[in-house]
Amino acid sequence: MPLIDLQQLNKLYYSIGEVSSMFGVNASLIRFWEKEFGFEIAKKTKKGNRLFTVKEIEKINKIYQLVKLDGFTIDGARKKLGQKQKVNFVHVENDIYAEQIRFLEYLKSKLLSLKENQTL
């Protein structure tokens, strides 16, 4: 599949179906790239459907070139584009969650001790 000629694009917004057919890939792959490469979609409809601008299609064009034509991995393409590696927040979220649980347990013990002192 040849790369998209951006000069040929004449609409303001393109649906994800139109973009995926331009590149000959599934819409799910476009959504995956959106998530993995962290680019924001300029506009969504009231129903939440993505509308892509020419600038966003240009980003997808570069990703397509690197991943599909040049054979880069996602991490390799990310490095080539000069992006930082995707941060895994699961560990951080678990630490925050554990800290919140400890704090709530501490508050519970303090409240229970206050309640016991009031009843005496």
- Each residue's pLDDT tens digit, 81-118: 886 555 554 555 566 677 777 888 888 888 888 888 88
Q: Which contacts (CB < 8 Å, 24+ apart) does range 45-50 have?
A: 49/15, 49/16, 50/15, 50/16
At residue 71 the predicted structure's pLDDT band, cuts being 50, 70 and 90, is very high
Work out the average pLDDT over 5-19: 88
Q: Do residues 66 and 81 make contact, with C-beta atoms less than 8 angstroms apart?
A: yes
35 SS3 class: helix
15 SS3 class: strand
Q: Is the pLDDT of residue 3 over 50?
A: yes
At residue 73 the predicted structure's pLDDT band, cuts being 50, 70 and 90, is very high
Which residues face 14 on adjacent strands? 52
Residues of the chain above pLDDT 70, percent: 85
Which residues face 15 on adjacent strands? 51
Distance of alpha carbon 14 from the chain centroid = 19
